[in-house]
Structure 1
Amino acid sequence: MSDNDTTTPNVEPQAPLPATQSSDERTWALIGHLSAFSAFITGIGCIAGPLIVWLVKRDTMPFAADQAKEALNFNITLAIAFTALVLFSIVTFGIGLLIAWPIGAVLCVAWFVLTIIAAIKANEGIAYRYPFTLRLVK
Structure 2
Amino acid sequence: MQILPPSELETRQWATFLHLSLLAGLLVPGAGFILPIILWQVKKEELPGIDAHGKVVANWIVSALIYGAVAGGLCFVLVGFPLLGLLALLAFVFPIIGALKASDGVVWAYPLVIRFFS
- Alignment partner, residue 117 of structure 1: 97
What TM-score does the superposition give when structure 1 sets the normalisation length?
0.74
Check conservation: 1:47, 1:75, Cα contact below 8 A: yes
**Which of structures 1 and 2 has the bigger CA Rg?**
1
SS at match of 2:14: helix
Aligned residues: 114
Q: TM-score normalised to the size of structure 2?
A: 0.85
Equivalent position amino acid for 1:107 in 2: L
Q: Note the residue ranges of structure 1 that are not aligned, 5 or more in a row.
A: 1-19
Could you say which structure has the greater relative contact order, defined with CA pairs below 8 angstroms and 6 or more residues apart?
2
The CA RMSD measured in Å over matched residues stands at 1.9
What secondary structure sits across from 1:113 in the alignment? Answer: helix
Partner of 1:107: 87
Calculate percent identity across the aligned residue pairs: 26
Q: Specify which structure has the higher proportion of helix.
A: 2
Q: Spell out structure 1 runs of 4+ moving beyond 6 A.
A: none
| Distance in 1 of aligned mates of 2:24 and 2:73 | 24
Distance, in Å, in 2 between the alignment partners of 1:42 and 1:72 is 18
Correspondence for 1:134: 114
* 1:34-49 aligned within 5 A: 34-49=20-35
Is contact 2:12–2:103 with CA below 8 Å preserved after alignment? yes
Deviations 1:17-67 (A, max 9, x none): xxx762111010001100001111333222212211111011121222211
CA contact 1:73–1:137 (8 Å) conserved in 2:
yes
Write the letter of the residue equivalent to 2:69.
T
